[in-house]
Structure formats: structure tokens, C-alpha cells
Structure 1
Amino acid sequence: MKQISFIHAADLHLDSPMVGLKHLPANILSRVRESTFTALRKLIAAAIDHNVDFVILAGDLYDGEDRSLRAQSRFRNEMQKLSQKDIPVYVIHGNHDHLSGSWVNLDMPPNVHFFGSDVEMKEFHTKRGETVHLYGFSYIQRHILDKRIADYQKQDPADFHIGILHGNEGGRTDHDNYAPFSIKDLLEKEFDYWALGHIHKRTILSETPPIIYPGNLQGRNRKEEGVKGCYLVTLNELEAKTEFVETSDVWWEEVTVDAASAQSFQEILQLCQLTIERLRKAGIGTLLTLNLKNVQFEDFQEKKILDTELLELLLDYENDEESFVWIVNLNLEEKQHFDRKKLMNEADFYTELFATIGDYQNPEEAIAPLYQHQLGRKYLTGLTESEQKELLEKAEKLLIGLLYQ
């Protein structure tokens, strides 16, 4: 029976600057900034350990169009490891590392095959005699807004047909709508596998045939939570098998802890420590956003200590931990005793306030100056609907709390 195996990865974002983390201790910051390269090494090790026929990288190898020499050099070293094992690599470039960028080029080993700006087919023959046709294209510029799926045309004869596409499915609003397509578009091509890139959340759009976003190799901010990695894929004439392979060295996590039962600073501290130990993973670093809700103290001195010293105590021993859990955001939400109906009965002002909040639909207007700033425009992304809702809820609680005082 004819069979092939390969690794499918995407969105490596090598040498990502990890913006906003300069406050971390030097050793943890160094590990976080090295994490995209660590993830790449894990990918290559998996490919060699499983003796795959080839590797597919579905766009955004590099974090920027300048393709830093450091990123290119590290990538080339890993490709040489695959070359020594006679494992070819098929690469498309996405919107972040498009072909019109400006960079000093480092030549890659001959086992690395890049797709050009037009959809093309590359033929591969396994050592056992199977023929594979791989189809794909690289972004000629950052913004590819037109549908390119019509350019993918199945070319026989081949034992297996694999499409590689860096694009947005179904008009998702959480990512830029580059090279848009629908699941129906892909199914109509009658390929055996679709290797997708661009969406950083691991998603299986179809199982027969497999249409998969593997997500990125390494989370880079709090929006990219949890384990990250790639897929080990085995195709034969009867079925497809997919196995997720973990590659991330640092995980981002967000946890909300209800502190309503805690009556003292000591109990709050213990609650946080238990949460940290529950999240600790052997050999993995964790960057944690910890939300404490329903915090309540009648003792002013304990409240002052909570505001100033809790985080320091929680981080005290994490600096030397290989499996660190480092709190990058600690949010304290005091237990609110506000009753909307009661407040509205107290004063007409509250009725008008709640009505205004209910009618306010676009918080991005309020933070528009951030996006207009040169640095903000470069690093900030648009708010999703859930993030806008969360921002409004936090603003409401903060405003009512200040007024109620």
C-alpha cells in the first residue's frame, strides 16, 4: 500500500521581538526570546525521529519582512540537519515574510524548495516510489486580498496531492482577510490534504480530507495561549492519520481565581500559590495572567500589602525555576456590592450612565490615539468583539467604583 508521512507546520515567526516583556528577569527574557528557535529545533527533531518523507512550512517563517540574519542563520542550520537525513522541505512565504521585503539573503541548502508568487506544483518522489504533487504560492506583497484558490489545479498522475495555502477561512474577523477561501472551495479541489497557515489557533476544518491550521509553533503574547506545535501526518490510499506534536518552550496562560472565600492576606497568598503549582509543567516555562476576583478585606493594612507585596512574594522563587510560572499580569478585582436597580433609584444620573454605557458600541474610538502612534500602529492589532466587551465591562466597573466612593 502506498503511504507517505510528513510534518506540517506554519507561522514560525522566528526571532519575534516579544514586545512588552522587557520587565522580565534577564534569564527568563532571554529564554522567551529564544523560544521561537527552540520550537523550530523541536520541529526538526520530530521530523528526524519519525523519519518523515518531507516537511511543509505554510508561511510566515520570519516575523518581519526584513528577515533578520539571525533568524535566517538559525533556520539554515536546522535545514542542514534535514538535508543530512535527505528530508526535503517545501516552503511558502506569507504576509509577514512576503517576497517584496528588503533583506540580506542567506542561501539555503538544496533540500529547501520555495514556492514563487504564482501558484505552482512541485513534484516529489519518495524513496519507496510514491509520487507526491505539492501546490502553493508565496505572497508577493504583504496584502493579498483576492481569492487565489482558483489557481490551484490538480495535475495527474500522482499518488497524493497536497495543497499549501496561507490564508483566511470563512471571513474570520480575528485575522486579516488575506487570500480568503471557504472549506467548500478546498473540498472541490479533491486534494488529499490541505496544509494551511495564517491562523495561530490550532484548528481542524475538515477530517476527510484533512484541512488543518496547525497554529503557530510558539505563542508570543497572551492572545496565543496554551500549547503550540505542528502536525505529524500519515496518508495512505485508505485513510489519513494526524498527530499533534508539541513544540512550544514557553506557554501563555490566563486564569481567573475566585477569592471570595479568602478572609486574609495569608489565604489569598496560599490560593495563588496553589494555582501556580497546578499550572507548573515539567521543562516548560509559563507566562501567566492571574485574575483575582471578589477580593475583600476590611483591614486597610492587609489591603495595602495585597496591592504592593503579593506579586513580589509570588515571584520570589520563580527566577531560578526551569519550569517557571512567571506572573506577567496580576489583576485584582474587589468584590463589588453595587446593585444597579438600587443605584438607579438613588439618582437619575445612574440611569443615564447605564443607558450611555449600553449604547456605547465602539471602544476602539477611545483608544484610537494608540493606533495612530508610530509604535502603536506597528505592534497593536485590532480588538475582537469579546475584547471590546471585556474592555467596556472593566471600564464600567472602574467608573462605578470611583463614583460610588
Structure 2
Amino acid sequence: MKQVKFIHTADLHLDSPMVGLRHLPKAIFHRLQESTFTALKNITNTAIEHEVDFVVMAGDLFDGEDRSIRAQAVLRNEMEKLAAKGIKVYAIHGNHDHLGVKSVALNYPDNVHFFSDQVEKVDFRKADGTLVHLYGFSYPERHVMERWIERYQKIDGADFHVGLLHGHFEGVSDHGKYAPFRLSDLIEKDYDYWALGHIHKKELLSQQPYVVYPGNPQGRNRKEIGEKGAYIVHLTEAGSEASFFETAGVIWDETVIDAQDSLSFNALYENCLNIIDGRRREGKGVLLDIRIKGLNSSHTDVIEKITSGELLELLQEAEKEEESFVWVHRLKFTEDIVVDRAQLIKQSDFYQELFSTIEEYDDLRNSLSPLFQHSQARRHLELMSERDKEELVEDAERILLQLLLKN
């Protein structure tokens, strides 16, 4: 029976600078700095362990247009490990590492094929004669807005057909709308597998045929939470199978604690410690975002120790030297206030106008523009998702009402 086995990865973003995280302890920040390389090494080790036929990399191998020499050197070393085992690699460049840049480029071993700036077909043939056609292209420049999917064509004569595409799934993603496509566009090509890149969250768009975003193999900020990895794909004449495996050395995570279950500071502290122990991963680091809800004016001692940073310091202290650390990098709380909007509106027209303004407010871009225009602040800011914007407005409303009602 004809069959082929390969690994599908994408969006490695090697040597990502991890902007805004230098406040972390030196050892933890170093682990995070090295994490994209760790993920790559985990991918190559898995490829060797499972004796795959080849590896496909669906764009954004490098984080920046300059493609640092170190990132290229690490990638080349890993490719040489695969070459020693007879494992081929097929890669495309995406919007972050497009072909339009002028930078020093290292040579890679002969087992590595980078697709050109036009959709092309490349053949992979096993010793038993099994033939795979792989189709793909590398971004000629950063902003590729055209529907390149229309340039893909199936060329008969192979046992299996695999498409590589770094692009935007129309109607779903918040990412840049590069090389857009619809799911029907991919299915119509009659390929056996679509290896996608560009979206940093794993998404299984279809199983017949498999259409897969593996997500990035290493999360780089608190928006890229949870397990990160790649897929081992097994194509046979009888059917296909794709299984996910983890690659991240550092995992971003988040949790919510209900303060109603912690009536004292000690109880809340113990609750946090239990959660930290429950999130610990052997051999991995975890950067944990904790949000405490349910606090009110009766929790004055708890609120004081949170706002002063004392609770955060206590939680972090024991993790500085841990190999399998769980570092609480963000600790927020929300103080519950009981607001009877109808009653407040009856008291004053001011509240009617206030609540209407909050509900209709959509001018965050202009409100935050001074931050994005500031050269130093801009480096620590990220594009905000719709949920981030909603949370910002909700936080502002809560703070404003607290101040108004206290007065």
C-alpha cells in the first residue's frame, strides 16, 4: 500500500525578540528567548524519532525581515541533522520572512527546498516508488493581498498531493489578510492535504481532505496561550490521519480565581499556590496570568496586599530557581460593585448620558493614539483584539463607577 509520513509546522518566528518581557528574571527570560529554537529542535527530534519522510514548513520561519544570522545558523544546524537521516524539508517564506529583503543569507544542505516566488510543483519520491507532488510559493514581498490560491493547479501523476499556503482564511482570522482563500477554494483543488500557515492558533478546517493550521510551535505573548506544536501526518491509499504533538518549551496560560472562596489573604494565597502547582509542567516553563474576581469593599486587607504587589512577590519568589517554573507574570483583580443602573438613572440624567456613552463608545483608536505615537511606548504595545478593547472599556467603566459611588 502506498503511504507517506511527514511533519507539518509553520510560523516558527525564530529569534523572536519577546518584546516587553525583559522585566522577567534573567534565567526565565533566557528560557523564553531560546524557546523558539527549543520548539524547532523538538520538531526535528520528533521527525527523526518517528522516521518521517519529510517536513513541510508553511511560512514565517523567521520573525523579522533581517533573518538574524543566529536564527539562520540554528535552522541550518537542525536541517543538517535531518539530512543525516535522509529526511527532506520543503519550506515557503511568509509575510514576515518574504523574499524581498536584502540580507545576508546562509546556505542550507541539499535536503532543504525553499519554494520560489511563483507557485511551483516539487516532487518527492520514496525508495518504493511512492510519488508526492508538493505545491507552494514564497512571498515575493511582505504584503501579498492577491488570491494566490487561484494559481494552484493539480498536476496528475502522483500518488499524493500536498499544498503549502501561508494565508488568510476569509471571514475567520484577525491576522493580516494576506493571500486570502475560502475553504471551498482549497477543497476544489483535490489535494490530499493542505499545510497552512499564518494563523498562530491551531485550526482543523477540514478532515476530508485535511486542511490544517498547526499554529505556531511556541507562544510569544499572553495572547498565544495553551499548548503549541505541530502535526504528524500519515497519508495512505486507505485514508489520512493527522496527530498533534507539543513542541513549546514555555507555555502561556491564564486562570480566574473567585475570591468568594477565599475570605482571607492566607486563604487566597494558598488557593494561588494550589493553582500554580496544578499548572506545573515537567520540563517546561509556564507564564501564568491570574485574574481574581469577586472582591468587594469587605476584602480591604486582600485588596491592599494585591495592589501593593505583595501577593505577586510571594507567588514569584519560589519560582525563580525552578526548572519547571510557573511564573505569575500578571496578577489582576476586579472589585465587585453592585450597580443598579435603573436607580442611578432615576437619580440623575448624568448617569443616563454616561451609560449611553459607554455603550456606544468606539473611539479607542484615537484615545490610544498618543501611546502608539510614542517611540518607546510603541515597542511594548501590540495590536489589540476586539476582546482586549472590550475589556479596556469594561475596566474603565468599573473604575469610573467606583470613584463616582465612593464620592
TM over 0.5: yes
Structure 1 position 127, deviation (Å): 1.8
Residue 175 of structure 1 deviates from its aligned partner by: 0.4
| Structure 2, unaligned runs of 5 or more | none
The amino acid of 2:355's aligned partner reads F
The question of whether the paired residues in 2 share the 8 Å contact of 1:117 and 1:140 is answered with yes
2:242 and 2:360 map into 1 onto residues whose CA distance is 47
Aligned counterparts, 1:356-371, within 5 A: 356-371=357-372
Task: For residue 297 of structure 1, report the CA deviation from its aligned partner.
Answer: 5.3
- Alignment partners' CA distance in 1, 2:206 and 2:264: 51
Relative to the length of structure 1, the TM-score reads 0.97
Please say if residues 16 and 36 of structure 2, whose CA atoms lie closer than 8 Å, have aligned partners that are also in contact. yes
CA change 1:267–1:22 in 2 (3 A) is same
Q: Distance in 1 between matches of 2:173 and 2:243?
A: 28
Question: Quick one: distance in 2 between partners of 1:319 and 1:130?
Answer: 52
- When the two structures are aligned, how many residues end up with a matched partner? 405
Shift of 1:351: 1.3
**Contact 1:7 1:54 (8 Å CA) reproduced:** yes
Q: State whether structure 2 residue 397 is matched by structure 1 residue 396.
A: yes
Distance 1:251 1:18 in 2: 13
CA 70–148 in structure 1, closer or farther in 2 if over 3 Å, else same: same
Alignment of 1:35-46 (within 5 A): 35-46=35-46
CA change 1:145–1:381 in 2 (3 A) is: farther
Alignment identity in percent? 51
Please, which moves more after superposition, 374-383 or 77-86? 374-383
Q: CA deviation at 1:154?
A: 0.9
Instruction: Tell me if the contact between 2:19 and 2:379 (Cα under 8 Å) persists in the aligned partners.
Output: no
**1:107 alignment partner, SS class:** coil
> Is the alpha carbon distance of 1:122 and 1:377 closer, same or farther for their aligned partners in structure 2, counting shifts above 3 Å?
farther
Match of 1:327 in 2: 328
| Cα deviation code 1:201-253 (max 9, x no counterpart) | 00000001000000001000011000100000000112001110110011101
192-201 vs 380-389, greater mean Cα deviation = 380-389
CA–CA distance in structure 2, aligned partners of residues 87 and 261 of structure 1: 54
CA contact (8 A) 1:171 1:177 kept: no
Return closer, same or farther for 1:340/1:144 CA change in 2, 3 Å cut-off: same
Alignment pair present for 1:350 and 2:351: yes
Query: Retained in 2: the 8 A contact 1:265–1:306?
Result: no
Inter-partner Cα distance in structure 1 for 2:9 and 2:319:
31
Aligned-residue Cα RMSD (Å) equals 1.5
Deviations 1:62-95 (A, max 9, x none): 0000000110000000000000001110010000
- CA deviation after TM superposition for structure 1 residue 267, in Å: 1.2
Q: Aligned letter for 1:360?
A: Y
Using the size of structure 2 for normalisation, the TM-score is 0.96
What SS does the corresponding residue of 1:313 show, helix, strand or coil? helix
Secondary structure of the corresponding residue to residue 260 of structure 1: helix
* Bigger shift: residues 140-149 or 266-275: 266-275
Verify the 8 A CA contact 2:20 2:380 in the aligned structure 1: no
Corresponding letter in the other structure for 1:313:
L
- The question of 1:264 aligning with 2:264 is answered yes
Q: Is the 8 A contact 2:91 2:112 kept in 1?
A: yes
Q: Structure 1's 286 and 237: CA in aligned 2 closer, same or farther, altered over 3 A?
A: same
CA 1:53–1:327: 2 relative to 1, 3 Å: same
CA distance in 1, matches of 2:77, 2:286: 27
Give the letter aligned to residue 106 of structure 1: L
1:346 is displaced (CA, Å) by 2.7
Q: Which residue identity does 1:332 align to in structure 2?
A: F
